[in-house]
Amino acid sequence: MTTDLDGTRWRRSSYSGSQAGNCVEVVVVGGRVGVRDSKRPGVALWFGTGEWQGFLGSFTRPGAGSLPSAGAGAA
């Protein structure tokens, strides 16, 4: 995906605090969500808004994000 990001304002994680060099930044552009490392601003991962909402929701749903047991799904 190619997006003109000149003048785009990225939002920095509140957990970054004063650690200016170690930050995750997020921007919403045209229904897509970009995520980047502040140390490498030229590289971003892009997600649809539904994908991003699902990712964020995984932190609030009980049991979400827990890993399956070692034998689960083994063929």
Range of the domain at 36: 1-15+22-62
Residue 3, domain member (yes or no): yes
Number of domains making up the chain: 1
Residue 71, domain member (yes or no): no
pTM attached to this predicted model: 0.64
Residue 72, domain member (yes or no): no
Query: With contact defined as beta carbons under 8 Å apart, do 33 and 49 qualify?
Result: yes
Residue 74, domain member (yes or no): no
Quick one: pLDDT at residue 48? 93
Residue 69, domain member (yes or no): no
Ordered per-residue pLDDT tens for the chain, 75 residues? 455 566 778 888 776 666 666 788 889 988 899 998 888 888 899 999 989 888 888 877 666 555 444 444 444
> Rounded to whole angstroms, how far apart are CA atoms 37 and 23?
6
Residue 57, domain member (yes or no): yes
